[in-house]
Structure 1
């Protein structure tokens, strides 16, 4: 998962809202670190499970059933709506919070303490106060500095919050937190990258987005291009089942076992003092605003969004399955290394056309889908570092005559440039196999923007050996920089896959992931058109020139010249990455 990393710690608890992962540093530290950091023992974890809709129907579950009947949906078909725009993505979550009557389950790699999360979490607190049971499961890697204040939600009535695979060390000290990562480097590298937002076990959202401004188009300097899916009906129960597996796992620690309310209040006071006494906001569980007054005013205007109208959402009904890694992929002390995943749900085997074995990971399951592709494979993977089995899958597909097109980040749009090294070293081999490569066009990237030193604290970040890889780099100066973050596959324009996984060794071997597989020609075609438009008009097409060298063809209608090196990147950055490349093994990128 490319969202977290022992090096992805905040510059200081008082001055940065996001960690700044540097993969190259983590790669170097991996060579010298060993040992084990302590975590709380004999922790109480009361078991709880998702709402049984059959026994406790809600307005939301009744709405879903009415929509199913209205369109004559058959069998186990579920309803889906692609959420490709930030307004729909945010509005859908806001609508689920407001519609929930019994339960809200949130599972995320990162929740950033900024304006978009503040409004959304304020709604979650309001839901809890009206009696909704709220469970929040958050990967622990980024919960330091300002972002640690999100943990105050655990002290609200009706809200339980657990941290997955905690990192030892104080949350107000960069050095202390760094040491907690280094002394248990192998375990800390394995992160929970899953992303779920579920209301009443009836409707939910999954996909690539974390919660934060940059994931909803409101980042001050950088924003992620992402894709989510709103799901309704039977498949939501399978998403909930996967949530329960993680929630009730020994790797999930209640917040109260890791930090006290008093410690969080002291951290908040420390941050407020550093920021000139910023107000804490009107909801006690929320972090103080991260912007100056003018930025906060603009942010509040931007987030004056209306919830998505769920009653009139245009759902497409189709068979679907959930493929999810097992929590045991992240090993406990004394356990063997990463284990695999399993297809979730009664129709998983059918959706997978034979399916994945219980020992396979999510990425392994996708490789099996590639093996069954007959005509066309469209892929979006922001962090694309193919292992040998993945390259074999592409080679075999090409031998069968399958057209394979892949859209990934360019060096300029990649918020973790060291991860780009892992992709770049395979680029020529992939082209020789007949794979078509496209790289998202973005603004100029140099050493400052690429390594997160622009000084904009609210920009996104990604892990540079960042165990999560979900984006978290400092904002760029000037106009907003677009960074690809969607994780999508379209198989033969019949099967659509949207999830949290990247096609890289980190997602395959270390991070846990979740993917939603939808057998729908309509949705597959819709997604394919969006991908093709992004490839043709918003991306550089990487090809071979007549002399065999790499050539970047400019996007259609851009008026730009073709390039003979990574576009929109400085010479200094390219030279630095060429030097660091041999030190960065693929499995740590």
Structure 2
């Protein structure tokens, strides 16, 4: 079992489009004028960034997770279920590969909570789906439930800034982690105004934790918003969460408390007023564009990417999602487990000069992977191995360990710039015998669910495209890891992450059964034939094999070639 970053008592949306060139020739004087205007914009952004700063005197009242979960209905149900299981393990798990279940399980926990709800997320997007969650949270607050929301600050501009209004409602507390100084009217100007501090802007809190009454928790890859629950008309993310009950939920709560009480967590009231947030509603559409496809601030490395922000679905479509589910009917498995989590200091301004011996979530995962004897199954939407991981893969292959990796294709990647880093290692991975699979953007049936047959319901509208977002590793059909981390240098070096390592063959097998249909019929199998890349078409897809990046436009391919020489792996 990995020892890195352990806390246990038992055995990364599309960036805003950059300014486009005029569609027809212009005079030299007009070109000169346009250039001056953009120079002025850059200077203004730098000036604004230089003037803006974070408050120095901030009150952060100390608070902790619920001390005695057994006082609550959820706590009592967990204790009863543990006693009934008679396994001796103190933590129970249920996998969630279905977008609808991901939504209803959160709604169910909100409605069942009696004392506390703690939410920690990289991104919460303001849309119809999250508004339903917010209404349920308000009902919980009205019956006396204390609600703490800890949100990374990167995506809290434009329309999404409206989420911050919850900070001013009864029984809500909302803090922003590692906030950026400056206005929130537009993601473009926000990034521009902070270019003087790119290093800090690149360090983000990427953890995803949802805990009810310190008894039952949800963690995994999903943020909160329509694309994560199969309701977007643009991109829908294929993801896997895990419901966790018992001791492991309390471990997740302790991690939440570490971040919540950290000096990098700023109460919203210390940064803006309710009137400030309300005023953002009046911004023009260009300033409030939805940035919901930004998984990580790789925007700096892909500023020329065409915008592909998903359009909001109708309220009717969103309201089709059920309000709750009976969690007792899920297949709960009791197993030994350990939590891997990064310390908040990983995000600190001086993190680059801090003690590099500090183990991270990804370090712990790599340690577990290095112990594989027979097989590794890896699912990572943004896959940039780096030299250390490549050496580890080479060592495993020399020992005869089979390695299968599912990642995004260029067409399915919601941050195409991340594909640049992956492409640098693709041929070397294939040469050493790693089986590489790339998710198709167009899927049959429900494109937002793992483990469902083609034509099944519960997904999104036919016009949507799929983007892989799950972060899962299965080791030797015995160990299962589900978390927020990608297997890339951003997760390893820049972002804070959380994961759960579960030792149970039944759960590892269940996760494998969810993933393998995607390998067989939902992904391109990439091979190296006579030194050339070949994408083998999925079964029954009606497609032919390809020797070029399938389904990706020529413009996108050219853009990535331009980016490639200037984009370091750790920023992708």
TM-score by length of 1: 0.80
1:556 is displaced (CA, Å) by: 1.5
Query: 557, 560, 563: which one pairs with 1:574?
Result: 557
Which position in structure 2 is the counterpart of 1:437?
436
Structure 2: how far apart are the matches of 1:39 and 1:216?
34
Identify the range of structure 1 (206-215 vs 424-433) with the bigger mean alpha-carbon deviation: 424-433
Q: Which runs of 4+ in 1 moved over 3 A?
A: 8-12, 32-37, 173-176, 269-275, 334-340
State the Cα deviation string for residues 537-584 of structure 1 (Å, max 9, x = none).
Answer: 111111012x22111111112221110011111223222212221111
Structure 1: gaps of 5 or more residues: 13-28, 276-289, 341-357, 445-459, 461-475
Structure 1: how far apart are the matches of 2:249 and 2:174?
21
Which position in structure 2 is the counterpart of 1:298?
316
1:337 is displaced (CA, Å) by: 4.2
Distance 1:261 1:37, change over 3 A: closer
Identify the range of structure 1 (36-45 vs 521-530) with the bigger mean alpha-carbon deviation: 36-45
State the Cα deviation string for residues 107-164 of structure 1 (Å, max 9, x = none).
Answer: 0000000011000011111111110011000000000011001000000111100000
Query: 538, 547, 563: which one pairs with 1:564?
Result: 547
Query: 48, 64, 69: which one pairs with 2:63?
Result: 48
Instruction: Say whether residues 1:112 and 2:130 are aligned partners.
Output: no
Structure 2: how far apart are the matches of 1:243 and 1:11?
36
Which position in structure 2 is the counterpart of 1:15?
none
Matches within 5 A, 1:105-504: 105-174=118-187, 176-270=189-283, 295-303=313-321, 305-332=322-349, 336-337=352-353, 359-443=358-442, 479-504=463-488
Structure 1: how far apart are the matches of 2:131 and 2:547?
44
Structure 1: how far apart are the matches of 2:135 and 2:126?
12
Q: Tell me, what secondary structure is at the counterpart of 1:215?
A: helix
Structure 2: how far apart are the matches of 1:131 and 1:291?
35
**Kept in 2: contact 1:80–1:232 (CA 8 A):** yes
Structure 1: how far apart are the matches of 2:461 and 2:117?
37
1:308 is displaced (CA, Å) by: 1.7
1:175 is displaced (CA, Å) by: 5.3
RMSD: 2.7
Which position in structure 2 is the counterpart of 1:60?
74
**Kept in 2: contact 1:323–1:515 (CA 8 A):** yes
Which position in structure 1 is the counterpart of 2:509?
525
Identify the range of structure 1 (306-315 vs 96-105) with the bigger mean alpha-carbon deviation: 306-315
Q: Tell me, what secondary structure is at the counterpart of 2:55?
A: coil
**Kept in 2: contact 1:9–1:144 (CA 8 A):** no
Structure 2: how far apart are the matches of 1:498 and 1:115?
27
Structure 2: how far apart are the matches of 1:339 and 1:479?
48
Structure 2: how far apart are the matches of 1:382 and 1:297?
29
1:528 is displaced (CA, Å) by: 1.1
Identify the range of structure 1 (165-174 vs 316-325) with the bigger mean alpha-carbon deviation: 165-174
1:174 is displaced (CA, Å) by: 4.5
Distance 1:482 1:512, change over 3 A: same
Distance 1:385 1:259, change over 3 A: same
1:180 is displaced (CA, Å) by: 3.2
**Kept in 2: contact 1:63–1:311 (CA 8 A):** no
State the Cα deviation string for residues 36-73 of structure 1 (Å, max 9, x = none).
Answer: 9621111111111111126x610010011111111213
Structure 2: how far apart are the matches of 1:415 and 1:158?
36
1:203 is displaced (CA, Å) by: 0.2
**Kept in 2: contact 1:329–1:339 (CA 8 A):** no
Structure 2: gaps of 5 or more residues: 1-11, 20-41, 289-309, 449-459
1:243 is displaced (CA, Å) by: 0.3
Q: Tell me, what secondary structure is at the counterpart of 1:388?
A: helix
**Kept in 1: contact 2:534–2:548 (CA 8 A):** yes
State the Cα deviation string for residues 510-537 of structure 1 (Å, max 9, x = none).
Answer: 0000001111100101111222211111
Q: Tell me, what secondary structure is at the counterpart of 1:184?
A: helix
Aligned pairs, how many?
A: 499
Identify the range of structure 1 (572-581 vs 533-542) with the bigger mean alpha-carbon deviation: 572-581
Structure 2: how far apart are the matches of 1:51 and 1:583?
48
1:300 is displaced (CA, Å) by: 4.0
